[in-house]
């Protein structure tokens, strides 16, 4: 099989790339995914929030912040067009102590810098919070109106259908196993045969760093995987709060967020996610983790991730996360700090866990923003973590505009769906 552009990964990002490329270029676009459906992994296994950009440092998370700002409006428009759920339910970010309040003040200023309007993000004291959400206990909170709940798995499927109608091909159950540079084209060996492509986009989520390494790209980086687990609340909790409630992370330099109280787009409530270190981007089960443990530990020891193994703060936080994986009560109690009414006994079933793969640099530090890097015939998107689903549509436009600027793709049309390619790409200029 031959294609002009092959995208490895049919998650929300790869599918969004196919959606735009198939509309504004005449390139033959092919998407490969090893799974039976698009959006099968992280893109369907998340909290389902369309995040307002107040949580993102405009300097250290520039790309994520800009994409989240643009993504909110784009998903709202798209959901309206397709008659899909886009529940503008807002979010409460609560602080329980003085350092937390300081962080909220920082978030207020980031929100403004990232383009939120003054009436979209409000700082409340504990009494004002009580009026709005009587069950919530905190010292202060940010209420952000501009936050919504969706089902990203469903959105990914709709985006795929549009891309297919515009001529993109999706090969599912097809795993890219190796990539060879044949001078004039790349040859991708898969379990379903060989593909020749002029250009490759690596949007493989938790496998993206491995694919990049196979092609000799960014071998200075590595990753660590964290499983985010959820517990489902019994239906009687459905009206406990009107909005989802997040607490300020105590250690924002690490990817350990405290579990949230989540109200999903269909009204179901959950507690989660924690962040349990695992050995594979698909480490949902013990057997997968045992299988991948030896190779992952060896890889970690020969990279910047080795420093994490000797970072006492990281190890102590990680062991807390493991404990909250083993004990439901420990996990639910983390939410009880701000929502005292929740009782661990009312959580009988686990929710669907999702895995985030965080990139670590040579010095052993977590990389904060998404990393976009190119090889001669390839583009690689690494560290595409939260709020990646929120920003997927504008981020895809950003990647295509980078390709256009490098002469790798010819954009022949400005109109793409309800948007102008030119206008959206301007929103993500750094
Ligand atoms: C617990 C959790 C909660 C989150 N909550 C939110 C939220 O509320 N809001 C938000 O905006 N973001 C959230 N995120 C982040 C968001 O879900 C991700 O940023 C986004 O889904 C990443 O999309 P993706 O397409 O890059 O990756 P993925 O969805 O992982 O897609 C990558 C695809 O590549 C395929 N693949 C990999 N290797 C190969 C190969 N060799 N051959 C073929 N196919 C391959 C995989 O099968 C997979 O389908 C959350 C993430 C987690 C883990």
Among the listed residues 384, 388, 373, 357, the one whose alpha carbon sits nearest the alpha carbon of residue 220: 373
Distances, alpha carbon 119 to alpha carbons 10, 116, 134, 397, in Å: 37, 8, 22, 29
- The residue length of the chain stands at 430
Q: What is the pLDDT of residue 133?
A: 97
Q: Read off the pLDDT of residues 143-197 as tens digits, 9 standing for 90 and up.
A: 999 999 999 999 999 999 999 999 999 999 999 999 999 989 999 999 999 999 9
In terms of phi and psi (left: phi > 0; alpha: psi -120 to 50; beta: otherwise), the region of 206 is: alpha
Distance of CA 150 to the CA centre of its chain: 14
Question: How confident is the model at residue 375, as a pLDDT?
Answer: 85
Q: Which of 46, 215, 396 to mutate to test the pocket of ligand 1 (most atoms within 8 A of CB)?
A: 46
Task: Tell me: pLDDT of 256 over 90.
Answer: no
pLDDT average, residue stretch 62-87: 96
Query: Beta partners for 30?
Result: 6, 169
Residue 265 parent element (H or E): none
Among the CATH numbers 3.50.50.60, 3.40.50.10860, 1.25.50.10, 3.40.190.10, which is that of 1-84+150-221+368-430? 3.50.50.60
pLDDT (0 to 100) of residue 266: 94
Distance, CA of 361 to CA of 381 (rounded, Å) = 15
Query: Closest residue (by CA) to atom 51 of ligand 1?
Result: 46
% helix, strand, coil for the chain, step of 5: 40, 25, 40
CA of 11 to the centre of ligand 1 (A): 6
Res 283: pLDDT: 97
CA of 138 to the centre of ligand 1 (A): 32
Torsion of the alpha carbons at 313, 316, 320 and 326, rounded to the nearest 10: 140
Distance, CA of 97 to CA of 248 (rounded, Å): 10
Pocket of ligand 1 (CB under 6 A): 8-14, 32-35, 40-43, 46-49, 51, 175-176, 203-207, 228, 273, 354-356, 384-390
Q: For 182-312, list the strands marked E by DSSP.
A: 186-190, 193-202, 222-228, 231-232, 244-247, 260-263, 269-272, 276-278
- CA-to-CA distance for 81 and 161, rounded, in angstroms? 14
Closest Cα to atom 3, ligand 1: which residue?
Answer: 46
Instruction: Supply the mean pLDDT for the chain.
Output: 95
Q: Ligand 1 centre from 40 Cα, in Å?
A: 8
Report pLDDT for 164: 98
Atom of ligand 1 nearest to the CA of 174: 43
Q: Concatenated DSSP letters for 127-182?
A: HHHHHH-TT---SEEEEESS-EE--HHHHHHHHHHHHHHTT-EEE-S--EEEEEE-
d(CA 402, CA 90): 33
The H or E element spanning position 305 is none
DSSP for 362-427 reads TTSPBP-S-EEEE-SSEEEEE---TTTTTTHHHHHHHHHHHHHHTTSS----SEETTEEHHHHHHH
pLDDT 10s digits, 277-315: 999 999 999 999 999 999 999 998 888 888 888 889 999
| pTM across the whole model | 0.97
Q: How far apart are alpha carbons 179 and 190 in whole angstroms?
A: 9
The alpha carbon dihedral of 34, 153, 279, 356 has a sign of positive
Query: pLDDT by residue (tens digit) across 363-379?
Result: 999 999 999 998 889 99
The answer to whether residue 430 scores a pLDDT higher than 80 is no
Q: Distance (Å, rounded) from C-alpha 96 to C-alpha 102?
A: 11
Question: What's the N-to-C CA distance of the chain in angstroms?
Answer: 37
For 18-46, what is the mean pLDDT?
Answer: 97
Res 63 pLDDT > 80: yes
Which residues neighbour 171 within 8 Å (Cβ) at sequence distance 6 or greater?
A: 30, 31, 32, 33, 190, 192
Q: In angstroms, what CA-CA distances link 96 with 92, 131, 235?
A: 13, 17, 27
Query: Between the CA of residue 390 and those of 22, 49, 148, 228, 381, what are the distances in Å?
Result: 21, 7, 10, 18, 16
Q: The tokens of 204 are what?
A: 């493989």
Of all atoms in ligand 1, which is nearest to the CA of residue 353?
A: 1
């Amino acid at each position: 099989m031959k294609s002009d552009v092959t995208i490895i990964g049919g998650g929300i990002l790869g599918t969004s790339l196919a959606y735009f490329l198939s509309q504004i270029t005449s390139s033959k676009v092919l998407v490969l995914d090893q799974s039976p459906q698009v959006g099968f992994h992280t893109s369907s296994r998340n909290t389902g929030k369309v995040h307002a950009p107040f949580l993102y440092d405009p300097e250290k998370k520039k790309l994520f912040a800009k994409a989240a700002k643009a993504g909110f409006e784009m998903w709202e428009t798209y959901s309206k067009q397709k008659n899909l759920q886009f529940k503008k339910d807002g979010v409460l970010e609560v602080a329980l102590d003085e350092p937390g309040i300081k962080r909220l003040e920082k978030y207020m200023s980031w929100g403004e810098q990232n383009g939120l309007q003054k009436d979209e993000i409000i700082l409340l004291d504990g009494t004002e919070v009580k009026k709005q959400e009587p069950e919530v206990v905190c010292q202060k909170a940010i209420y952000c109106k501009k936050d919504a709940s969706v089902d990203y798995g469903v959105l990914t499927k709709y985006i795929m259908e549009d891309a297919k109608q515009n001529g993109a091909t999706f090969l599912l159950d097809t795993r890219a196993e190796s990539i060879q540079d044949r001078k004039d084209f790349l040859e991708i060996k898969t379990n379903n045969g060989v593909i020749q492509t002029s250009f490759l986009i690596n949007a493989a989520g938790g496998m993206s760093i491995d694919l990049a390494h196979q092609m000799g790209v960014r071998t200075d980086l590595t990753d660590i995987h964290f499983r985010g687990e959820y517990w489902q609340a019994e239906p009687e909790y459905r009206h406990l709060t009107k909005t989802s409630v997040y607490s300020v992370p105590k250690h924002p330099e690490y990817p350990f967020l405290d579990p949230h109280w989540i109200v999903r787009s269909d009204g179901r409530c959950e507690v989660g996610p924690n962040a349990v270190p695992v050995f594979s981007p698909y480490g949902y089960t013990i057997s997968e983790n045992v299988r991948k443990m030896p190779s992952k530990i060896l890889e970690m020891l020969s990279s910047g991730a080795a420093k994490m193994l000797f970072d006492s703060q990281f190890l102590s936080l990680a062991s807390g996360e493991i404990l909250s994986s083993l004990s439901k009560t420990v996990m639910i109690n983390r939410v009880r700090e701000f929502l005292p009414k929740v009782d661990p006994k009312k959580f009988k079933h686990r929710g669907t866990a999702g895995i985030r793969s965080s990139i670590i640099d040579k010095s052993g530090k977590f990389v904060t923003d998404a990393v976009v890097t190119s090889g001669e015939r390839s583009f690689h998107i690494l560290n595409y973590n939260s709020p990646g689903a929120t920003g997927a549509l504008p981020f895809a436009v950003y990647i295509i505009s980078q390709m256009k600027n490098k002469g790798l793709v010819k954009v022949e049309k400005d109109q793409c769906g309800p948007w102008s390619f030119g206008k959206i790409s301007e929103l993500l200029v750094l």
